[in-house]
Amino acid sequence: MMKIIKKINCGNSPKMEVLKNLTIAIAEKDHNFISDCISEDVVCTWVGDKKIKGKNEFLSVIKTKADKEISELIIEQILSHGKEGAVCGVKLMTSGERYAFSDFYIFKNAKGQEIISIKSHVIKE
């Protein structure tokens, strides 16, 4: 079971709460929660790796990343302003590898109901 460490307090920010829960859902490969958060035509870029478009393709990529199991997820910061948000932290893998990540999100509107864009930067530490 993955250990989750949250070094942040989302306070009364619904968008920050969505980003926190989405980060956890992606790490846990919770397709139902992810599907509820992203738009049908979401665009996702893993910088230096690939760019995809569409909810189904995004969910498929998350499923194929199952070979890399996360033992610990550390969420260090979450920011949100207007239609934009960001999450950064560290993923510790069962293999012992460590990856620092920064994910940048654009919501469809300022209410933060649906994510239309994700840009992910991942660096092996």
Which pLDDT value is given to residue 6? 84
Domain ranges of the chain: 3-124
Per-residue pLDDT reduced to its tens digit, 22-68: 999 999 989 999 999 999 999 999 999 999 999 999 999 988 875 57
Which pLDDT value is given to residue 1? 72
Average pLDDT over residues 91-116: 92
Which pLDDT value is given to residue 42? 98
Per-residue pLDDT reduced to its tens digit, 70-90: 999 999 999 999 999 999 999
Which pLDDT value is given to residue 102? 98
Strand ranges in the chain using DSSP code E only, listed in sequence order: 3-6, 38-46, 50-53, 70-81, 84-93, 98-107, 115-124
Which pLDDT value is given to residue 66? 57
Average pLDDT over residues 107-117: 88
Q: Collect contacts of 37-43 with beta carbons under 8 A, ≥24 apart.
A: 37/114, 37/115, 38/114, 38/115, 38/116, 38/118, 39/108, 39/114, 39/115, 39/116, 41/116, 42/115, 42/116, 42/117, 42/118, 43/116, 43/117, 43/118
Q: What topology is assigned to 3-124 in CATH? A: Nuclear Transport Factor 2; Chain: A, (3.10.450)
**What tokens were used for 27?**
């790490």
CA separation for the pair 16, 13 (Å, rounded): 5
